[in-house]
Chains A and B, each alone.
Chain A
């Protein structure tokens, strides 16, 4: 579960993962945007093992929740941006409820809060130039969603991601935490 400001977000998370986790991790992306061409689909699946979900599904399509639920049951890890779309750098929008539904359905699966710091400046929404800047990926400890209704779980997930927003010891990432 991470905040989302840039196309670089998934690149950064994928690059930060150890090799054995990389293979079983899939990024969740919008079909309307990334599924436009066959080339884009192939690139997304090759680099990000992307699960493409539709923002506005037709009646016959399986629901996004079912698709992602099946991936989790299949033992895959998912990169989910609960804000639903890329926002402004440093401002976190309210999370959409889908993640909470997923967590409620899979209470045995923990989530890892991730805060992506600075990527919205490297390549913000609607920008084309990539400006190299120092960015940070802060991973929190894996946590289990507390049982409760969807709203409570959602608040919990958002607060866990927000906790990582302020700089902490991980900013001085020269040393491993004891």
Chain B
């Protein structure tokens, strides 16, 4: 579908239509249920569905909108994640300048991604920020615990800004005979990773017995992981109409995304547990 000069592939539109269809059904059912039950649980369902509406609207803008608003939404996601991490990370009073510099890195990184300055994009945080932030911390002149801040602030940038900003690069990659564009790739990525979470959770709840890392993430079991990986790999296979992947490649990508989702979840669990959240 064409709006002005902007083109939205039908595949993306259909997928989003399914998402919003499900949301409309959920909202209606939960609203009626809450009207009758008026319990805390029913209220929670209504509120949660509402937040899914916001998430879906944000995702729609990212996958179907023009590049600029899509980049801005992703940059905002990075900013919120960074703010969340900085709020819980126990930083020192003398780290303020370093934290400020880290926030400045968000628009710079997304500017580089938006204009497809690929090489600068790749080294800006791992090289410049990993030197710049420690140096700013040194100029504040407070030594105790400086090593912790020196490593933690730039590493947080990698986690919340560097990684997420790679999504913008998907808009710039080109494949022969593939017309759908970066929005479809991001939609594929988001759907597969979100459902990976749901699959691993559901399999774990239904059949979970053998814990993988009981101290870090007591809810993660081998049954959940394996069941989740199988379902996610299959989902990637069926969603490959959004991508230029052939059937074999889509299975491999699905497997990698499922495993990556598990690894990311385990990392975040460990961080949360260490910070006492």
A interface residues with partner B (beta carbon < 8 Å): 118, 124, 127, 129-134, 174-176, 178
Contacts and interface: CB of A to CB of B under 8 A. Distances in A.
Nearest to B86: A133
B272 interface: no
B246 interface: no
Contacts, number: 31
Q: Is the interface of B mostly helix, strand, loop or mixed?
A: helix
Nearest to B83: A132
Given A175-B43, A175-B44, A129 B84 contact: no
B29 interface: no
Interface stretch (B55-63, B96-104, B168-176, B261-269): B96-104
A131 B47 contact: no
Interface of B: 40, 43-44, 47, 51, 79, 83-84, 86-88, 93, 96-97, 99-100, 103
Contacts of B93: 124
Contact of B47 (A118, A134, A175): A175
Given A175-B47, A178-B40, A134 B83 contact: yes
A131 B44 contact: no
Contact of A134 (B87, B97, B103): B87
A132 B88 CA distance: 12
Given A129-B96, A175-B47, A134 B84 contact: yes
A142 to B, nearest CB: 24
B47 A127 contact: no
A174 B96 CA distance: 29
A118 B51 CA distance: 25
B36 to A, nearest CB: 17
B99 A131 contact: yes
B39 to A, nearest CB: 9
5 contacts: A129-B96, A132-B86, A133-B83, A174-B51, A175-B40
B44 A118 contact: no
B77 to A, nearest CB: 14
B209 to A, nearest CB: 31
A132 B103 contact: yes
A118 B84 CA distance: 13
Query: Counting chain A CB atoms within 10 Å of each CB, which of B40, B79, B88, B99 scores highest?
Result: B99
Contact of A131 (B79, B84, B100): B100
